[in-house]
Amino acid sequence: MLKKERAAYILEKLESLYPEPPIPLDHKDPYTLLVAVLLSAQCTDERVNKITPLLWQLADNPFDMAKVPIEEIKAVIRPCGLSPQKSKAISVLSQMLVNQYDGEVPVDMDALETLPGVGHKTASVVMSQAFDIPAFAVDTHIHRLAQRWGLTNGKNVTQTEKDLKRLFPKDRWNKLHVQIIYYGREYCTARSCYGLTCPICTTCYPNRKKPKIVLKP
């Protein structure tokens, strides 16, 4: 298969498997999504979804969260890991939203990336899932699958994002990001497929005999 043929097949396959994929992180508005995505760094979505209801009991908006002591935030989110950094980021970004954006999450990629704890991937998720503005959030999992599927030779997530944006229609980016996440969890996990067993890998590369070595970002 040529790369364009692989991309077309992958689009069709993922659409058949996940026609209406729900957003993995539970949230009720842009702010709670922003905080949930921040918490998901080096933590599973499943654990984040168990912790955020407890955090929302403390505060579920930037006005109230800005008043919560960092130690109280840290105590709640400790199971998510990196709690000292994440609790400070949640507190400071909440204060910034109140002081600079009237308590609203800005609908702007550059503005989002100025918030503490918010990198390009987190900002992309918020832009795409909270505001339905085309973005292609690429994390280490999507980077791994894109390499296994021969969609990129990128050595980092930045290059992989550029390659995927060139390959796929812009109006599919937001949905495709979520579809790839679900497919990776179900069929093409880090420690099971290695580019050799899942339906997409075996269809795109039927003659592959050795595990696909993925360049880590």
**Per-residue model confidence (pLDDT) at position 194:** 92
Provide the CB-side half-sphere exposure for 132 (13 A, CA): 0
Q: Give residue 217's pLDDT.
A: 66
Does residue 160 form part of some domain?
yes
- Nearest one of 125, 144, 135, 124 to 189, comparing CA atoms: 144
SS3 180: helix
- 121 as an active site residue: the answer is yes
142 lies in a domain? yes
Q: What is the CATH number of the domain that holds 188?
A: 1.10.1670.10
Residues 119 and 72 reside in one and the same domain: yes
Pick the catalytic residue: 121, 171, 175, 210?
A: 121
* Count: domains in the chain: 2
Tokens of 186: 């179900």
Q: What is the CATH number of the domain that holds 105?
A: 1.10.340.30
Q: Out of 86, 139, 163, 175, which one is annotated catalytic? A: 139
Are the C-beta atoms of 49 and 25 separated by less than 8 Å?
A: yes
Contact in structure between 149 and 167 (CB atoms under 8 Å): no
Average pLDDT of adjacent 10-residue blocks, the chain of 217 residues = 95 98 96 98 95 98 98 98 97 98 98 97 97 95 95 91 97 97 95 94 96 81
pTM: 0.93
Kindly state whether residues 103 and 193 are assigned to the same domain.
no
* Whether residue 139 lies in the annotated active site: yes
Tell me which residue range forms the domain holding 179: 3-21+136-204
d(CA 49, CA 85): 19
Q: At which of 79, 99, 130 does a domain end? A: 130
Q: What is the pLDDT of residue 120?
A: 95
CA 69 to each of CA 64, 65, 93, 143, 184: distance values in angstroms, whole numbers, following the listed order: 11, 8, 14, 37, 38
Can you give the pLDDT at residue 154? 81
